[in-house]
């Protein structure tokens, strides 16, 4: 499958796109916005200052920090603009279950840092449970922004790169297993502490399984498996 072209939105002020995203976290509802990928580029030959660019993405596997770092590496090691070199990248993916923005910072060369930002803008540790929630949100979000052929949905997103998150039977099983795990985990925790947060997580996970079946009938070509 041919990868979609990489859009590029240039910032007037470096990091302004990530700053705006952080400030908006407390107002986000439902599944949240598409993923944000922010890159810092330096001219290869000139000595001018760094440039901040960004684009949006849907459909990338967000089950771990490694998969998001791998996406940034595809942009870094196969640069689409030969006059600049990418020196760092930040991938932001919203976790609607826990209302956190999961982030992976890649510095070139060599280092990767994963963490999450809460609604107050504070940094927290990224755990395996949070990545499981983020993965499920990422798949659901990709199909919530799917297009019915009219083009109306995608026109509302500027600079977006879309991937199909479920392209095989194995990928579909992975998604449904994640929904099942979160549902039963939420139900067990709910019986133990009866918190509203865990009750909501269980309900969201249960709805995820139902939603993917509804989406399959609505967008049959998007859910075509091989």
pLDDT in tens, 171-205: 888 888 887 777 665 544 444 445 555 555 555 55
- pTM as predicted: 0.81
Q: Using one digit for the tens of pLDDT, what is the confidence trace for 124-136? A: 999 999 999 999 9
Average pLDDT of every residue of the chain: 80
The model's pLDDT over 44-68, given as tens digits with 9 standing for 90+, comes to 877 668 899 999 999 999 999 999 9
In the chain, domain spans: 9-164, 166-219
In the predicted model, is pLDDT for residue 120 greater than 70?
yes
Q: CB–CB of 108/100 below 8 Å?
A: no
- Mean pLDDT over 3-22 rounds to 89
pLDDT in tens, 135-165: 998 998 888 887 655 555 555 678 888 898 8
* End-to-end Cα, the chain, rounded Å: 13
């Amino acid at each position: 499958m041919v990868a979609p072209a990489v859009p590029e939105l240039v910032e007037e002020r470096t990091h302004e796109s990530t700053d705006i995203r952080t400030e908006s976290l407390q107002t986000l509802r439902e599944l949240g916005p598409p993923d944000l990928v922010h890159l810092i580029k330096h001219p290869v030959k000139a000595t001018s200052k760094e440039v901040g660019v960004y684009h949006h993405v849907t459909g990338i596997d967000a089950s771990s920090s490694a998969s998001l770092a791998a996406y940034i590496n595809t942009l870094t090691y196969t640069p689409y603009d030969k006059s600049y070199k990418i020196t760092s990248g930040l991938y932001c993916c919203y976790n609607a279950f826990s209302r956190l923005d999961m982030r992976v910072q890649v510095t070139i060369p060599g280092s990767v840092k994963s963490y999450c930002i809460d609604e107050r803008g504070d940094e927290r540790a990224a755990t395996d449970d949070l990545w499981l929630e983020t993965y499920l949100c990422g798949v659901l979000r990709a199909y919530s922004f799917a297009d019915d052929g009219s083009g109306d949905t995608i026109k509302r997103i500027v600079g977006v790169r879309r991937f199909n998150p479920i392209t095989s039977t194995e990928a579909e099983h992975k998604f449904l297993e994640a929904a099942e795990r979160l549902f039963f985990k939420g139900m067990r925790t709910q019986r133990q502490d009866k918190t509203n947060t865990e009750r909501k997580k269980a309900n969201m996970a249960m709805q995820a399984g139902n939603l993917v079946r509804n989406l399959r009938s609505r967008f049959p070509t998007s859910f075509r498996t091989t």
